[in-house]
Structure 1
Amino acid sequence: MPQYEGQKKLAAIKKLAEGKDAEIGVAWMEGNAMHSMNNERLYPLMSVFKLHVAVALLKDMERRGAAVDTTLNITPEQMRKDTYSPLMKLHPDGRFSITLPQLIRYAIAESDNNAADILIAMAGGIDSVDREIHAMGIKDCHLSETEATMYEAPINSYANWSKPESVVWLLRKLYDGRLLSGEYDRCIKQALAATTTGADKIKAGLSQGMTLAHKTGTGFRMADGTKMADNDAGVVTMPDGRQVAIAILIKDSKMSDADNARLMAEITKIILGDERE
């Protein structure tokens, strides 16, 4: 994409964001060109951090030569009832067996909080996840909270932050094959492609023939009506095979969930504008 086209799109996005009662961070990358708006700010990742968790765990497993296709025996102690967890609904007693790829799929595609915290424990804790991500050369992000600690004190969600360009770099390196290989790479990409959440966000901005592999993140809404975060980040594959990595992070929004989602879809349309013609 020529640089001037990127600047033209940035100007359109800035105009769209004017007057919106929220902090809006956007970044996208096609080829070697990175474009971003409000990248100097720190945005709570919310469930987008599950992408970081899964990549960090799989990277550690690949380094150790541990097989992805393994079965885990989950116990009630690992499953909280007071959280969003499709797995808990399927297994009310909290005791079941599941393969690791299935667990990652629940964490990513279904945004299961219990699945995410089990993966964090397998990775050696959230601090280990943070170190692994930084060791991959992904800067301008910080992870110190689990789903459990964010639920216990929602304000903790702000401690799991990233700049938009950082999320795009993680996606770009992942889809360029620079982070994982073989079964480890397939596992995370299959989960991202299967995501069911956020159909009204980036996905709603695609046109025919485009596909999306992504991870969403939805924050708590505080007593005054402010939503801590509303996020979507992923890789759009064009009909001709070209890929565009996009991250849209909305912080402290006074808008409705529907308005946040609509804004993400409209921003996506602008980013992909030239490719739609």
Structure 2
Amino acid sequence: MRIRSLAKLLTMGALSLSLSAPGQAQTKDYSAQFDQVLGTEVRAPQSFDAVYDNALEQRISQLADGSRGRIGVYAIDLSTGQEIGILADQRFPMASTSKVAIAATYLAGVDAGKWSLTSEWRLPRPGGAHLSARQHIDLMISKSCNDCTDALLAAVGGPRAVNQWMRNAGLEEFELTRDIATLIREDGRVDPASSVDLRDSATPRAMGQLLAGIYQGKWLSTSSRNVLMNAMRATTTGKKRMRSALPTGAGLAHKTGTLSRTASDIGIFHTPDGRAIAAAIYVTGQSPSMAVENGNRSRKLEARQMRDARISTIAGALYRGFASQDDDRRVWADADYGG
């Protein structure tokens, strides 16, 4: 059995790891047990060859060192099907990366004739203006506008509708439970570096496959796909994350996410020979504890910069690794990224 398959079984509960539930939140405090079983808690160099089965994945596993917080990575070459996965089947906080799924759900409704891009929806705040759906999508993706997101989330029928669209797309490891206003209000109650809160979470694999399917036109019309991809190309947030590591010619289209003790970036970029790579990077922690980080303003800024730097470094390694690799289908002959 390949180690990756074993990892997926473990994260799905094959070891019957304990669950805890603060309020209505289900949390899995199994990270240490997971890493202990796979030999990735310390991630000593001598364990890399035993755990990961190609040079690029071994390199990414080094850069995704989990000693100061959980880091999840998933990437797939859409031309060859070659994948890279480091804790790719563990749940991570989506933060604003969930906005891609919300936008896709709305655009699928446009394709079905339920509403249009010119339909106007009111910003959910006192005196909120009415904006067209196209404006909401552009702002919620490129500028990460939270009010725009909640306006469209309400329009499609709330989190349940987004979850259903994702299930219909074959993406199970995704769960949206709150609107963005509530998510921000409740941020910081669970430390994502040491616990897994299933609310508003997804696996890096699910988010990477969401991007892959959107890019490949599997679920949206060409016009709707272009609306979303163009908004992602115009993203201005997270300048020190993926964007800082990739050349302009990579044509990055991406969406960032940020909450307490977590940062993320998911996107599509291209190798010099034109192959599209879908990647999802989720980074938590990077400082000793939530109390230390939140109790010291300078330490909080330092930790955030470290999270951004981790994303940048990993994205750069993915770009160079996929760009330099031969077409090696041997490792990933059984890859299934169709969603």
Instruction: Give the TM-score band, short-chain normalised.
Output: 0.7 to 0.9
Tell me the residue number matched to 1:194: 234
Q: Deviations over 1:225-259 (max 9, x none)?
A: xx1x2100000023433110010011344261111
Tell me the residue number matched to 2:304: 257
**CA displacement at 1:99 relative to structure 2:** 2.1
Q: Does the CA-based 8 Å contact 1:127-1:143 persist in structure 2?
A: yes
Alignment CA distance shift 1:273-1:52 (3 Å): same
Tell me the residue number matched to 1:85: none
Tell me the residue number matched to 1:224: none
Q: Does the CA-based 8 Å contact 1:107-1:115 persist in structure 2?
A: yes
Secondary structure class of the residue paired with 2:116:
coil
Residue identity matched to 1:231: S
Is 1:182 the counterpart of 2:229 in the alignment?
A: no
**CA displacement at 1:134 relative to structure 2:** 1.0
Alignment CA distance shift 1:15-1:181 (3 Å): same
Tell me the residue number matched to 2:72: 25
Is 1:48 the counterpart of 2:107 in the alignment?
A: no
162, 167, 172: which one aligns with 1:139: 172
- Identical residues among aligned pairs (%): 24
**CA displacement at 1:276 relative to structure 2:** 5.3
Alignment CA distance shift 1:6-1:237 (3 Å): farther
Alignment CA distance shift 1:171-1:130 (3 Å): same
Alignment CA distance shift 1:248-1:274 (3 Å): closer
Residue identity matched to 2:125: M
Tell me the residue number matched to 2:256: 216
Q: Does the CA-based 8 Å contact 2:121-2:152 persist in structure 1?
A: no
Tell me the residue number matched to 1:88: none
Is 1:124 the counterpart of 2:173 in the alignment?
A: no
Tell me the TM-score normalised to structure 2 length: 0.69
In the TM superposition, what are the counterparts of 1:154-173 in structure 2 within 5 Å? 154=187, 155=189, 158=197, 159-173=199-213
Tell me the residue number matched to 2:313: 266
Tell me the TM-score normalised to structure 1 length: 0.83
**CA displacement at 1:74 relative to structure 2:** 2.4
Is 1:111 the counterpart of 2:159 in the alignment?
A: no
Q: Does the CA-based 8 Å contact 1:28-1:246 persist in structure 2?
A: yes
Secondary structure class of the residue paired with 1:26:
strand
User: What is the total number of aligned residue pairs between the two structures?
Assistant: 251
**CA displacement at 1:169 relative to structure 2:** 0.5
Secondary structure class of the residue paired with 2:237:
coil
Is 1:39 the counterpart of 2:85 in the alignment?
A: no
Alignment CA distance shift 1:270-1:218 (3 Å): same
49, 54, 58: which one aligns with 1:7: 54
Pairwise CA RMSD of aligned residues?
2.3
Whole-angstrom distance in 2 between the partners of 1:103 and 1:35: 33
**CA displacement at 1:128 relative to structure 2:** 1.0
Q: Deviations over 1:73-107 (max 9, x none)?
A: 526xx126xxxxxxxxxxxx42x342211110111
Q: Deviations over 1:85-134 (max 9, x none)?
A: xxxxxxxx42x342211110111110011001001001111111111111
Whole-angstrom distance in 2 between the partners of 1:7 and 1:140: 25
Q: Does the CA-based 8 Å contact 1:6-1:35 persist in structure 2?
A: no
Secondary structure class of the residue paired with 1:64:
coil
Whole-angstrom distance in 2 between the partners of 1:142 and 1:218: 17
Which has the higher mean CA deviation after the structures are superposed, 116-125 or 247-256? 247-256
Q: Does the CA-based 8 Å contact 2:229-2:253 persist in structure 1?
A: yes
**CA displacement at 1:139 relative to structure 2:** 2.1
Q: Does the CA-based 8 Å contact 2:160-2:177 persist in structure 1?
A: yes
Tell me the residue number matched to 1:223: none
Tell me the residue number matched to 2:243: 203
Whole-angstrom distance in 2 between the partners of 1:115 and 1:177: 24
Gaps of 5+ in 2: 1-48, 288-301, 325-339
